[in-house]
Amino acid sequence: MIERLATGERAVIVQLDFGCGAMTEELEEVRLLAESAGALVCAEVYGRRHSPDAATYAGKGKVQEVAAEVTAHEADLVIFNHELSPAQERNIERVLQCRVIDRTSLILDIFAQRAQSSEGKLQVELAQLDHLATRLIRGWTHLERQKGGIGLRGPGETQLETDRRLLGKRVKVLKERLIRLERQRSVQRRARGRGDVLNVSLVGYTNAGKSTLFNALTHAGAYAANQLFATLDTTSRKLWLGEAGNIVISDTVGFIRNLPHELVAAFHATLEATAQADLLLHVVDSASPARDDQVAEVDKVLTEIGASEVRQVVVLNKQDLTGLSPAVERDEYGRITRVRLSAKCGGGLPLLREALTEIALEKLRNPRAQSMDSDTSFNPNITLDSGLSL
């Protein structure tokens, strides 16, 4: 087993193309992920394959190419922007003689660094333990088989089973704590529902500007930065809308392509609150060349957590980078579907407040009506006036 270094990691990134054709965007994203985790990216290795190699994922020749980059740059970490099996990680480490992690491990590490609330820390730890459970044997490769000789019979299985039992107990404790926290949130949601308060959740791809928009609307001072997963813990604030009264708006964790299943499961309680919202503000980075794929990834996660039927208003953010003027778009029924703005510069924020006021008044006038339906969900086939298609 390779010794894990705590700091000072110089990383080599590996990206393979299996015919999806989005290598440039994926390379940029994994580079940002690595930098967000604190790694110094010193080299990138990419290539094409028809299918992953069963033993080393990238194939013997490509692994040798990675080994050359590791030696040339004195790297101590190799990041595969793919999901590796425990056996593949072990085989690659034997060749490279340095630490190897996959995309899931990288994202889990970022989440572990960013979690601030007690609930967020519990959720991240649960996700890490679920991921570790499939790799537990790697820490005991010298004991995983019984060998002949005095002192070498039996302890391997005993140690592994002991680790599994301890891990299982810890997972059970974490799940019980999260269940108690979810009950508390359910009580709070019911209280808001009785008061006919519009419950709004900000959702979107990571680094789309959700936290910047949240701060611009509520003056909450939540942490916002130009990095992936800058905000992890859900934050809720009241927003006064004049005649519509108060609404509750929540900033949630950003989504990303190939979001680890362990994270979706661990954060299910938090993400479930999104499914209970009256309205989703789907924040889109309109200046990103990969915005179509990002929108699709967010919609996929929303479907997975049961929030696909919640009404969406798409917020096309970063209009200052596209040169488009702020605007509100409506469907054929006159209901608001999109708002173009710049959360950083403030252009279009009054339009968003007016849109929220209009929707909040709808809820006040007819709180039992099912006006928040899927008919107003974002349609990726609609073309903007500027000719940009999202």
On whether residue 135 sits in a domain, the answer given is: no
Q: Is 227 known as a binding-site position?
A: no
Mean residue pLDDT across the chain? 80
Q: Has residue 131 been placed in a domain?
A: no
285 is in an annotated binding site: no
Q: Which domain holds residue 238?
A: 196-365
- The reply to whether 364 sits in an annotated binding site is no
In a domain, 288, yes or no: yes
Decide which of 84, 101, 118 is a domain's last residue.
Answer: 101
Residues 151-155, mean pLDDT to the nearest whole number: 46
**Could you tell me the CATH number of the domain that includes residue 58?**
3.40.50.11060
- 320 assigned ligand-binding residue: yes
Q: Is 166 a known ligand-binding residue?
A: no
Say whether 252 counts as a known binding-site residue.
yes
Q: Which of 44, 69, 101 is the last residue of a domain?
A: 101
Annotated binding residue 235: no
Residue 203 marked as a ligand binder:
no
> Into how many domains does the chain fold?
2
Most confident option among 20-34, 273-287, 364-378: 273-287
State the Cα–Cα distance between residues 249 and 272, nearest whole angstrom: 15
pLDDT confidence of residue 389:
30
Is residue 245 part of an annotated ligand binding site?
Answer: no
151 is in an annotated binding site: no
3-state helix, strand, coil in the chain (%, to 5): 45, 20, 35
Instruction: For residue range 271-304, list pLDDT tens digits in order.
Output: 776 888 899 999 999 999 889 989 999 998 888 8
Q: What is the DSSP letter of 381?
A: T
353 and 218 share a domain? yes
CA distances from 338 to 202, 325, 379 (A): 14, 13, 10
Residue 67 is labelled as binding a ligand: no
Tell whether 204 is in a known binding site.
Answer: yes
Task: Let me know if residue 90 belongs to a domain.
Answer: yes
Tell whether 350 and 201 lie within a shared domain: yes
Clarify whether residues 95 and 205 are in a common domain. no
Determine if residue 61 is labeled as part of a ligand binding site. no
pLDDT at residue 306, as a whole number: 85
For residues 163-180, b (16+ Cβ closer than 10 Å) or e, as one string? beeeeeeebeebeeebee
Asked whether residue 361 is assigned to any structural domain, the reply reads yes
357 token code pair: 């006021």
| Domain assignment of residue 289, yes or no | yes
Domain contains 244: yes
CATH number of the structural domain spanning residue 330 = 3.40.50.300
- Residue 317 annotated as binding site: yes
Q: If 0-12 CB within 10 Å is exposed, 13-18 middle and 19+ buried, where does residue 341 land? A: buried
265 is in an annotated binding site: no
The model's pLDDT over 185-198, given as tens digits with 9 standing for 90+, comes to: 777 666 655 557 88
Do the annotations mark residue 242 as ligand-binding? no
Residue 155 placed within a domain: no
